[in-house]
Amino acid sequence: MKRLLTALLCILLLASCSANNAKNPVTREFFAMDTVMTLTIYSVRGADRAQAADEVVALVEQLAEDILDKNATTADEEEMMRWATEAYNLTDGMFDVTLAPVIRAWGFGTGEYRVPAADELQALLASRNKDDIDYGGIAKGYASDLASSRVLGGQSGNSSIADFGGNVCAVGSRPDGKPWRVAVRDPLNTESTCGTLELTNCAAVTSGGYQRNFTQDGVTYHHIIDPRTGYPAQSGLASVTVVCETGALADGLSTGLFVLGKERALEIWRENRDKFDLVLIEENGALTVTDGLSFTSDRAFEVAS
Amino acid sequence: MSRTRKLATAALLASLALVLHMAEAALPPLVAIPGIKLGLANVVTLFAMVTLGIPCAAGVLAARIFVGGLLGGGLSAMLYGAAGGLASFALMSLLCRKFQRKRLWIVSALCAVAHNYGQLAVAIAVTGRAEIIWYAPVLTAVGIIAGALTGVCATLVLNRLEKARK
Amino acid sequence: MKKRKHTLEIIIAAVFLISSATALVIHLNRESRGVIGVYRDGVLLSTFTLDGIEPLDYEVVGENGEMNLVHIDSDGARMLLANCPDKLCVLHGKLAGNEPIICLPNRVVVKWLSAAELSAETASRTDATLP
């Protein structure tokens, strides 16, 4: 009897050992680029997961530092500029990293919110140049690309999901083989979500006015500035979610397409279907999803093709 | 009563209970809730308990549930029947002796409610959803009515039988 | 002898009245509560937000051939078809109040979901949420 029990106990222990790996990921939460970032690593082929997590944290913190110091290595800067330019081109110029002074004038970044005068904005818009660039609109996306290409991804069987301050990076699939389930927030009711995306090996980014704004004299001003006017964009959209293989591009596109509005965003998508997909939520709550996405929701939505 | 007589009576009662059970099952359902019926067969169970005693009555009930399940409804019917039957029977055994013949309807009403609650418990366990418990008010009300009716029936039968013997 | 207390009878009568009244209130409350959930074996299969929904028939199929067809429109839900032996779920009619529509043989439950329940169900199945 004793032997039987010991044998059973051994089997149980062994079983729990292997189960542990699959079920318990290595998670890490850290602060960088002014925001909270989280990593959830289930498996990284040929590497120790905790070590991989450390590498990602180090990588991102270093990038953040370099950007702040205006000291980004040439390679990083070139890459970021490359994606920023592509996003600029794909969004009729609505994603513009040279908008930095305009965004600052509103107080986004410093926290000293104010409504700039019209002529001040005109002057700032006119004096945009490549020496005063803020990669803020693309940095987190780029960080997620670095993390996935250098550490987390690149091999089949790797499985992790990370959130770089709102830039979700899905590496591989869930450990059970099914796609990662990423929920899209409801911009009209930010406590709830309005649908779930199924993602494998890609990045997802959402831009919306509700994410950062201030109210003055009863009017709410958000942080996504329309380069044509210098004022927060009023395109009829409440949020844009871009799903793309490259986080940096997703980051830039989500901002630029938000400014452009639903019709133009869908037009651009139709011309670039293989590059990205969209979830658009209008100010009236209407939900539109492009046909390349696997999206489920308990409310009605339109599929754009 | 001699043992042979008891056995024979029990067998008769069991078949009677079964017939009533099957007849009732053939009728359209009373309410859209599983297991809610008049429970005419329970008249027999109660009668058996009063005249033959608890052990025999248990046998009558068990036979009815088992064969009833075999003849229609299958394993799940047997399961639900057993759950409700057990709860109801337990209560019946406790209360039966304490009430006069005239007030047997009280025993029956309470047992019918117990039967329904037993089925409710099984339903919650099977579906895994606790909100089924919201059926409790309906089950209580219907149970009281049906139980009272079958209890009155049992009383009438017992009275008739007594008269017939005299 | 004639002054026997009828306490027990009174209690039973009271219980009966209260439970019938409660049952009526529950069963007659057919107001829409916004979100419906369909479960099998206690596991949520799908949710439906009724606001602006087009009427649809949701089919629930089980491993052993169980089949239930739930009709959902902007008013609520009811069981259209089921291959269970008793069809009590179909007889239930429209979903009412806290009382779910249950198909016991097929272990299917259709019920209203509160906002809290909906969040909890969604959260437990989500790996990440975009901000």
Report how many domains make up chain A. Answer: 1
Phi/psi of residue A98, nearest 5 degrees: -85, 5
* CATH code of residue A55: 3.10.520.10
Q: Do chains B and A touch (3 or more CB pairs under 8 A)?
A: no
Question: Which pLDDT does position A18 carry in this prediction?
Answer: 45
How far is the C-alpha of A113 from the C-alpha of A117, rounded, in Å? 13
The β-bridge relationship of strands A167-171 and A159-164 is antiparallel
Domain contains A193: yes
Mutation site, A42, A279, A298, interface C, largest C CB count within 10 A: A298
Asked whether the beta carbons of residue C130 and residue A166 sit closer than 8 angstroms, the reply is yes
Is the model more confident about A253 or about C46? Answer: A253
Q: Enumerate residues 15 to 44 of chain C having a beta carbon within 8 A of any beta carbon in chain B.
A: 15-16, 19-20, 22-23, 26-27, 39, 41-43
- Note the pLDDT of residue C15: 92
Written as six digits, the tokens of C77 are 């839900």
> Do B137 and C98 contact (CB within 8 A), yes or no?
no
* CA A22 and chain centroid, separation: 26
Q: What is the mean pLDDT of residues B146-155?
A: 89
Question: Where are chain B's structural domains?
Answer: 3-165
CA gap A302, A75 in Å, rounded:
41
Say which residue, C124 or C36, is predicted with more confidence.
Answer: C36
- Give the model confidence (pLDDT) of B95-146 as tens digits: 888 888 888 888 899 999 998 888 888 888 877 778 888 888 888 988 898 8
* Mean pLDDT computed over B11-18: 91
Query: What whole-number distance in Å separates Cα of residue B31 and Cα of residue B26?
Result: 14
In this structure, how many other beta carbons lie within 10 angstroms of the beta carbon of residue C106?
Answer: 23
**Residues of the domain holding A129:** 25-304
Looking at the domain assignment, is residue A15 inside a domain? no
Range with top average pLDDT, A94-98, A150-154, C57-61, C111-115: A94-98
C72 vs A contacts (CB less than 8 Å):
none
Residue C89 — pLDDT band, cuts 50, 70, 90?
A: confident
Mean pLDDT value across residues C34-55? 83
Q: Would you say B142 and B30 are in contact if contact means Cβ atoms under 8 Å apart?
A: yes
pLDDT in the model for residue B116: 87
What CATH fold (topology level) applies to the domain C28-124?
mini-chromosome maintenance (MCM) complex, domain 2 (2.60.320)
Q: Where are the alpha helices (DSSP H) in chain A?
A: 2-23, 49-68, 74-90, 100-106, 118-126, 136-146, 247-260, 262-271
Q: Examine residue A122 and state whether it is found in any structural domain, yes or no.
A: yes
CA distance B15 to C68: 36
In 3D space, the residue among B110, B96, B112, B111 whose CA is nearest the CA of residue B155 turns out to be B96
**What pLDDT is attached to residue A14?**
59
Q: Which residues of chain B does C109 touch, with a Cβ-Cβ cutoff of 8 Å?
A: 127, 129, 131-132
Contact residues for C98 (Cβ-Cβ < 8 A; gap 6+): B131, B134, C26, C111, C112
CATH for B3-165? 1.10.1760.20
- Say which residue the tokens 């818009």 belong to: A125
Distance, in Å, from the CA atom of A109 to the CA atom of B130, rounded to the nearest integer, reads: 50
Give me the residue label for tokens 């067969």.
Answer: B41
**Minimum distance, in Å, between the CA of residue A167 and any CA atom of chain C:** 7
Integer-rounded Cα radius of gyration of chain C: 19
User: b vs e for A82-98, b when ≥16 Cβ sit within 10 Å of the residue's Cβ?
Assistant: ebbebbbebbbebbbbb
| pLDDT tens over chain A, length 305 residues | 777 777 777 666 655 544 444 567 888 899 988 888 999 998 888 788 888 899 999 999 988 888 877 766 778 888 999 999 999 999 999 999 999 899 999 999 888 899 999 999 999 999 988 878 888 889 999 999 999 998 888 777 888 999 998 899 999 988 878 899 999 999 998 888 899 999 999 999 999 999 989 999 999 999 999 999 999 999 999 999 999 999 999 999 999 999 999 999 999 999 999 999 999 999 999 999 999 999 988 788 999 98
Q: Where are the domains of chain C?
A: 28-124
The percentage of residues in chain B with a pLDDT greater than 90, rounded to a whole number, is 8
Summarize pLDDT for B42-101 with one digit per residue, the tens: 888 888 888 888 888 999 999 988 888 887 766 777 777 788 888 889 998 888 888 888
Tell me if ipTM is over 0.90.
no
> Is A4 inside any structural domain?
no
